[in-house]
A and B are shown apart, each in its own frame.
Chain A
């Protein structure tokens, strides 16, 4: 199946269209089936993927607007492959766990369209097509937050949309300028990323372009101080919305950094290491503290997302395989863990229709299974070794240590502050006596909920213990990307820096 990527992209969309004719009562099963097939397809993609090659695989290239260099150009490599799989997985799990009752048909169809855009973002190598999916992903999310969300849902939805939309429009200017630069040098229009990779640009140009892309990506990530849409979006979104948002949509931003900013602007990236790291550290510590101050469980997790995204950002700018691979792995880890966390919060919300910690306490007594899974996810979230959360965080920190020990130590505070808010959340919610009468009769998670959570638990443990199947392809792709960066850097300093980011051992050889 050479065109598996197209199938992956458009299968959910077509399924979504067909979904309009399906009866309301069958739509959930339909959604699950479609998502399952999509997930199976993505697994098939993985199975046929050559993990030892850094090259783009399953390439499809169809010119759409040749005069303007726009083509339908999709492919995967180790960096994007697993994000695709995670997107399909989280959609599947999300639909399974979904507790939405009203307008469920619209929800399922929306989710399927969202899945298309998510897959599309990760596999597009044509920047305009990437941008297309990137923007399009906002629309279903807007609807999900706005239609099924909490009391402030409209505000939150619009804030989410406009904020990210603004950022990406600035990025669009950057894209156009880069395309023009390419045209200026090469004489042909092209929006193909692989063509752009070959482009050597002056440092100033790189810096400006970096800034343009930065705004687009940073808002999506979201990086401090552009993060304030996130708590609203999460706070108001229905569970499924938060799950997808946290698990996949945020990753688009960091993916963008790794896919675009780093290899396109190596010199600028190197120059920006410290500023980005400072922001990342602010994200890590500041938002962790803000998370600690929250009263709403979901807000804690929302802010924790920002904090974790800080780690991912830090890794992306470590300029060595460890850091960047760790960053990508952490994207997956955070996707799984935060997705699960939001699902867990959703489950308690379904039961009690509140997310305030003060309403709870002692849940471990009434809902032991729930508490156990929550605990596992919590441990993954704080980066316990042998869970998925540790591998990424460890690699990021070890990678960035090479760049700056001091900053790494500051960033490493994440393992402390992360534990502080998470444990305090857990204590307030699950420990102590059951003080609230209403909580005494709560039912533990049912079969459907268990069925949606257990796979995630298994993944958390599996990838924590044995991350190699995933780390290996990532490592291969990242190494080749770093070589590319080194080769195309225009400043000798940058070359030196990237070269020096390898461990001493290799340098000696």
Chain B
């Protein structure tokens, strides 16, 4: 079984290295195939492990070697396959495999095809490290690793030049990549601090050593640790106010968006909270957890609101991802860790599917992303329409698709915790989710074929790609039925979450309310858009619309309030302080010395008479000194 752990972990790594060997040569399709195969192997290993664990409840723990050993600090490369990590492993490896296969088709014409697979597999490896590590430092390795891969992949088309925000809200892939990396780094600092707190208070970073000791620690320590770790989670999972990078990350190739910015990496924050549930679940940190839930709810709503008016196919999905992450955090914050994890998995499937579908559309539309320029694609791209429709239904929470079960559970638990405001917001958000999902579907696939104006001839994706996507579709459709089994499986490790009697009674009513909102949203969308696009100047110029379509002006705010002042301050530091004060002081000292040399050489007039006068002057001075000193003492 230990070998399986290593296989699951290192197959993507091997894949990455393999692809790396061909990075300098033109496209080699077999690179993609080999990579996909290796990923599939990883999936098989993960699945076998999952099966094994499900069967035996045995946690597999391996320690490869020591990494950093200094003083009392000992960090090994240790990996653990337990219920939580194996769930993640399966999800990650599965989605990755699909995305790899998909990419063979999607990146078909890209000259950096091989490089893409190298990066993509490297990402999977990092993600595996992240989820499998048995300690916080190892988690951080993966954490940073996925960050870098995300940077590489967002900036994959680095050759695109910067444009203004009006033309492309993300400016350029390389800009978006840097933004993502730097924003993540801000959060990573929090994560690091969390690690430090844990180390200095428990003397270890191993999960199995840290968690038992938590009970001994003071509330202050626990709260700061929880806050610090959550800050880390906020960055990776793009929670407000560190959310802007996620939509900009859509500059990356669509498979990347599917894998990294929907299914896996962005859920790392949620994973962290789930992983550290012994900490977040403590009485002492209840406040933090409630804050997490509240923030999650807020982000769910906040992101959904921006998705309502967006015209960019991928950005809409990105906002929806953001929104769904909010749901997950809400669940995790409320203590419903397993529900959060369940939603995480379900979301991974349908959101990846949605993105891949969007990728198909892009591929068909020659990288056009404006849904206002699409329409009626259903006729050209039936399978894609089906997939995206399915995924959207799942997203909207329509039974019996996966999203229904998971989201409903979250909303239910919000009600269960008595947080009616959260509950209400989540319900409203569910409605909004349904609306924007179907707004997108209708505008893309129904109505009039607006793309014709632009001379685009859309075509369906390669068949093998469509087949490759099918596992996701299937899972998006049926995963919800595994909920009870999953609960049984996962609560071996995670705390159970029992709905109160009261909630249990109201469960069906609550579900109905949510469903009503969802269906309402779909109907509204259908009403407005199924016939075709009817643009209204008035609406589009309204304050709310502009506010939403400009993402509440937050990117601009960041640019104006942070980026620009930072650049200006840097410039001031350099030109005014470093050069004009610090360095100038040094030079001034040197100059004063030098100038005083110029000044004092005047006494060296060359005229003997002056020299003699100096001599006599010296004599006078010395005699005076002699007199004074003798007078003094």
Contacts and interface: CB of A to CB of B under 8 A. Distances in A.
Interface size class, chain A = 35 or more
A289 B566 contact: yes
Given A293-B574, A364-B159, A427-B175, A326 B70 contact: yes
Interface in A301-323: 320-322
Name the residue among B70, B159, B203, B570 with the largest chain A CB count within 10 angstroms.
B70
Name the residue among A326, A409, A416 with the largest chain B CB count within 10 angstroms.
A416
A471 B68 contact: yes
A286 interface: yes
Contacts of B23: 368, 372
Nearest to B112: A368
Interface stretch (A173-181, A273-281, A400-408): A400-408
B207 interface: no
Interface in B174-204: 174-175, 177-178, 181-182, 185-186, 188-189, 192-193, 195-197, 199-204
Contacts of A408: 193, 196
Interface residues of B, number: 62
Given A395-B68, A423-B182, A228 B586 contact: yes
Contacts of B66: 468
Interface string B139-158: 01100110010010001001
A432 B161 contact: yes
Interface in A222-237: 224-225, 227-229
B574 A475 contact: no
A475 B570 contact: no
Contacts of B155: 431
A475 B570 CA distance: 37
Interface stretch (A42-50, A141-149, A379-387): A379-387
B193 A401 contact: yes
Contacts of B200: 398, 401-402, 503-504
A493 interface: no
B548 to A, nearest CB: 30
Contacts of B571: 293
23 contacts: A225-B585, A228-B583, A289-B570, A290-B573, A290-B574, A292-B566, A292-B567, A293-B567, A293-B573, A294-B574, A322-B73, A325-B70, A401-B197, A415-B192, A416-B182, A416-B189, A419-B182, A423-B181, A432-B162, A471-B68, A503-B203, A504-B201, A505-B72
B21 to A, nearest CB: 13
A427 B566 contact: no
A120 interface: no
A406 B199 CA distance: 16
A287 B47 CA distance: 49
A391 B68 contact: yes
Interface of B: 23-24, 65-73, 137, 140-141, 144-145, 148, 151, 155, 158-162, 172-175, 177-178, 181-182, 185-186, 188-189, 192-193, 195-197, 199-204, 566-567, 569-571, 573-575, 577-578, 582-583, 585-586, 590
A385 B193 contact: no
A163 interface: yes
Contacts of B177: 423
B204 A466 contact: no
A350 interface: no
Contacts of A384: 144-145, 148
B158 A432 contact: yes
A266 interface: no
A41 interface: no
A292 B570 contact: yes
Nearest to B144: A385
Given A364-B159, A420-B182, A430-B158, A398 B196 contact: yes
A479 interface: yes
Contacts of A427: 174-175, 178
B69 to A, nearest CB: 6
Contacts of A365: 159
Chain A binding surface SS class: helix
A433 interface: yes
A401 B189 CA distance: 12
Contact of B586 (A163, A401, A412): A163
A362 B161 CA distance: 9
Name the residue among B173, B178, B566 with the largest chain A CB count within 10 angstroms.
B178
Contacts of B24: 368-369
Contacts of A259: none
Chain B binding surface SS class: helix
A372 B114 CA distance: 14
A358 interface: no
B72 A286 contact: no
Interface of A: 159, 162-163, 224-225, 227-229, 286, 289-290, 292-294, 320-322, 325-326, 362, 364-365, 368-369, 372, 379, 382, 384-386, 390-391, 394-395, 397-398, 401-402, 405, 408-409, 412-413, 415-416, 419-420, 423-424, 427, 430-435, 465-468, 471-472, 474-475, 479, 502-506
Given A293-B575, A423-B177, 6 more contacts: A289-B570, A364-B158, A423-B182, A472-B69, A475-B69, A504-B203
Nearest to A372: B23
A502 B71 contact: yes
A301 to B, nearest CB: 15
A51 to B, nearest CB: 12
A397 B192 contact: yes
B174 A432 contact: yes
A479 B148 CA distance: 35
Nearest to A299: B574
Name the residue among B72, B188, B583, B585 with the largest chain A CB count within 10 angstroms.
B72
Contacts of A290: 570, 573-574, 578
A503 B72 contact: yes
A397 B196 contact: yes
Given A289-B570, A385-B141, A322 B71 contact: yes
A289 B573 contact: yes
A44 B175 CA distance: 47
A321 B195 CA distance: 17
B192 A419 contact: no
Contacts of B151: 423
Contacts of B181: 419, 423
B159 A409 contact: no
Contacts of B70: 321-322, 325-326, 395, 471, 474-475
B73 A503 contact: yes
B71 A503 contact: yes
A415 B196 contact: no
Contacts of A412: 189, 192-193
Contact of A362 (B159, B189, B201, B577): B159
A506 B569 CA distance: 44
A459 B151 CA distance: 23
A431 B176 CA distance: 12
Nearest to A409: B193
A289 B72 CA distance: 35
Contacts of A368: 23-24
A394 B573 CA distance: 27
Contacts of B141: 385-386
Nearest to B155: A431
Nearest to B590: A162
A347 to B, nearest CB: 18
A468 B69 contact: yes
Contact of B67 (A320, A325, A467, A503): A467
B114 to A, nearest CB: 11
Contacts of B573: 286, 289-290, 293
Contact of B566 (A224, A372, A394, A420): A420
Name the residue among A163, A290, A430 with the largest chain B CB count within 10 angstroms.
A290
Contacts of A424: 178
Nearest to B178: A423
B203 A321 contact: no
A465 B178 CA distance: 25
A398 B195 contact: yes
A466 B159 CA distance: 35
A438 B567 CA distance: 29
Nearest to A228: B583
